[in-house]
Amino acid sequence: MQSFGAMALGCCVFAAAGSASALDHSHAAFATILKQHVTNGLVNYRALKENPAELKTYLAQMDAVREAEFKQWSREQQLAFLINLYNASVLKLIIQHYPVKSIKNIGGWLGKVWDVEVVPLFGNVTGLGYLEHELIRKYNEPRIHFALVCGALGCPELRAEPYVAGRLDAQLAEQGRRFFRDTSKNRVDAGGQTIYLSPIFKWFADDFKQHSGSVVKFVQIYRPDLPAAQWKIRYTDYNWSLNDSSARR
């Protein structure tokens, strides 16, 4: 995979013949897919695998964007594009291997699923790990960890709508509130002065510390009821089982 800066530049042409067209920043095609296949944060992978055409079309539209065009967008447009690309690419990867019990079962015996080249980006193909760590996290927006969904029950819930620039801040804030309401992932033992957090806060602690000074101070954005005290942090178990609604029928 070529580096972000070395990817080929070019124009994006995918609408009327011979006419240049910018990406549909409403991500309407992805909205249709999510509305059809996502319920309460779970995905009907069986149905999506049986009818993958719309997902293929959407990812082809995303792939048609070139780096030069991308760089002209606003920060919010860029970030919404990258988050949607990540989530759509996860769907693509899972239905390629479905039925599968966990995304971690993909990627061969070494289990390097995050390196599987599945993400169409600027005319190249890369892995989910590159997209997340080398691009998305560079925006210094820790709430992206409430939006990127790797196909596991331990992840935040997948929204039944795409991220869009005009509502990105509100969408990320809501994702954070949803994530903290899920007591299987995050909860507080006030008597024991212990906060039980998703391992996401351990894996990406630097992102939350850079934003708020400490993980606890970041948590207090969503739990302002927590007094300023010495809180111990313990981490909950991460459920890597597939976030599959069709498996629960």
∠ Cα 171 45 184 (to 5°):
55
CA 14 to chain centre: 25
What are the C-alpha distances in Å from 169 to residues 142, 192, 248? 12, 34, 32
pLDDT of res. 115: 95
Q: Which residues pair with 225 in a beta bridge?
A: none
pLDDT of res. 6: 41
Q: What are phi and psi of 204, to 5 degrees?
A: -120, 35
The owner of tokens 């969408």 is 171
pLDDT of res. 249: 47
pLDDT of res. 224: 86
CA–CA separation, 155 and 239 (whole Å)? 8
What pTM did the predictor assign? Answer: 0.90
Q: Which amino acid is at 211?
A: H
∠ Cα 175 60 12 (to 5°):
100
Q: What are phi and psi of 224, to 5 degrees?
A: -65, -10
pLDDT of res. 110: 59
pLDDT of res. 136: 98
Residue pair 239/104 in contact by the 8 Å Cβ criterion: no
- Specify burial of residue 62 (Cβ count, 10 A radius: 0-12, 13-18, 19+): buried
Could you report the average pLDDT of every consecutive run of 10 residues in the chain (249 residues)?
41 34 90 98 97 98 97 98 98 97 84 92 97 98 98 97 98 97 92 92 97 93 81 94 82
Residue pair 107/149 in contact by the 8 Å Cβ criterion: no
pLDDT of res. 119: 98
pLDDT of res. 113: 95
